[in-house]
Structure 1
Amino acid sequence: MLTLHRAAFVLPDPADPAAPSLPDGAVLVRGEQVEAVGPYPELAAAHPGARVRDWGPGSLLAPGLRHPSGHRLLERDYHPDPREGVGVEPVADGLVGCADEARFGASARRGLQRMLGYGVTAVAGPFERAAVRTAVARSGLAVLPSAAGAVGALDPLAVLPFAEAVHGRVAAGGRADFAVFPVVPVFPVVPVVPVVPVVPVQGVVDGSGEGRPGPAAGGCLATVLGGRLVYRRR
């Protein structure tokens, strides 16, 4: 089945400062792969039978994020069950000294689900616990080499600029791993002659290209792994 993911902006390669964003863009997905990236009107006209997922006027579709602290977050920190009544934030070193594989596995599954809510599509390993390796493999996230000096925040954008946090690029023929974020648009500054001096205010950009939109803080709207919608904000 063909699925057309439409967003207000598509940014196929945020790591490339010269790569432009596509206003009213779309990504066409067939199975696990990206079939095409381009303007939504063109792709919709060429594939009238495709299912359309329209992520709305305030959306930015981009590659998913890499999490540099995967090993620590999944094998040292504990991710509570909401029923425990202690919140949902990771408990630092909450698994240190634990020998219960079932507890490791359950914590890892909850942690991975919460990472998906931030647009994570790849995590840094290695993972020593069998239960954690199984949870990561079943999640569909890519596993990357260890990252030195990583900080244990669930949101990679809390510790890395957007251009450095993305994993790979969204391109035809590649695996359909990407995320959709709320967008912080860039507003053009209109020259005016003020009565009193004022400081012009612009929108926030992603820091890697002038005039490009960037993701708003606080998590993503959706995460897609291998063409599957694995997270959608409620």
Structure 2
Amino acid sequence: MLTLHRARLVLADPTAPPLVDGAVLVAGATVAEIGPFSELAGRPARVREWDGVLVPGLVNRHGRWLLECAYHPDPREESGDQPLAPPDELTDERWGGSARRGLQRMLAFGATAVTGPFDRPSVRTAATRSGLHVLPGDGTPGALDPLDGRPLGTAVHRALTAGGAADFAVFDARTLEDVERGAGCLATVLGGRLLHRRR
């Protein structure tokens, strides 16, 4: 099935200007076409309209530290949703639960890739099952937000191209500058699947 994602601005490649009223046509897990909505409309596709800026998926460069050195509390613990110092004696099962919550929170910031490698088996399993791409990294401490003060171009995992992976995020923004200033993520699509949608 085809899905056409329309957005106020579509930035397929950080080195090129964005498309105004652009769209990304997704076929399965890949990008079929990118272009102005007026040219891609009318295809036999489900249309998702996003009032924001669509950009390639981002990479969280602090994944190893966030998932293996920090604890992501369960909402029932009423400890917030930010990473904390891990409680003493976390079992492998609790590390796995923490990693799953951390990965979901990364998706909510537009991440489609995360740095590893992961030594804990339960964390490695959670990362594999999440679908996020695992890249080599150095494990430095950092935030859940892949941008966290970085320019957008330095946080992009890879450009969106026809025939490439349908990995992208949509931000509640009017401009690329709004995205860099911390606009909230409306949706994250990974391998053509909508894995995060802000409620």
Shorter-chain TM-score above 0.5? yes
Confirm whether residue 55 of structure 1 aligns to residue 46 of structure 2: no
RMSD (Å) for aligned C-alpha atoms: 1.6
1:3-152 alignment to 2 at 5 Å?
Answer: 3-14=3-14, 16=15, 19-45=16-42, 47=43, 49-56=44-51, 59-92=52-85, 94=86, 98=89, 100-147=91-138, 150-152=140-142
Write the distance in 1 (CA, Å) between the matches of 2:135 and 2:21.
32
1:184 to partner: Cα distance: 4.0
Contact 1:13 1:170 in 2 (8 A): yes
In 1, Cα distance between equivalents of 2:54 and 2:74: 30
For residue 34 of structure 2, what is the amino acid of its counterpart?
A: V
Question: 1:23-78 deviations in whole A, cap 9, x for unaligned?
Answer: 00000000000000000011013x1x20000012xx11010110110000001100
Q: Please, which of 186, 189, 197 is the counterpart of residue 224 of structure 1? A: 189
Distance in 2 of aligned mates of 1:218 and 1:182: 6
Aligned equivalents of 1:98, 1:174: Cα separation in 2: 43
Structure 1 partner of 2:166: 176
Distance 1:105 1:176, change over 3 A: same
- Asked if 1 retains the 8 angstrom alpha-carbon contact of 2:2 and 2:46, the reply is yes
Pair member with larger Rg:
1
Residue type at the aligned position of 1:162:
L
CA–CA distance in 1 between the matches of 2:198 and 2:179? 18
Sequence identity, in percent? 57
- Is the 2:8–2:20 Cα contact (8 Å) retained in structure 1? yes
What TM-score, normalized to structure 1? Answer: 0.81
Question: Following superposition, which runs of at least 4 residues in structure 1 exceed 3 angstroms of deviation?
Answer: 213-216
- SS for the counterpart of 1:102 is helix
What SS does the aligned partner of 2:106 have?
A: helix
Unmatched tracts of structure 1, length 5 or more: 186-204, 207-212
Q: How far does residue 157 in structure 1 lie from its aligned partner after superposition?
A: 1.2
Alignment: residue pair count: 199
Gaps of 5+ in 2: none
Whole-Å separation in 1 of the counterparts to 2:189 and 2:150: 21
Instruction: Give the superposition deviation at 1:158.
Output: 1.0
> What does the per-residue CA deviation read over 1:130-163, in whole Å, with 9 as the maximum and x for residues that have no partner?
1111111111100011146x34211111142211
Q: Which has the higher strand share?
A: 2
Whether the 8 Å contact between 1:151 and 1:159 is mirrored in structure 2 is no
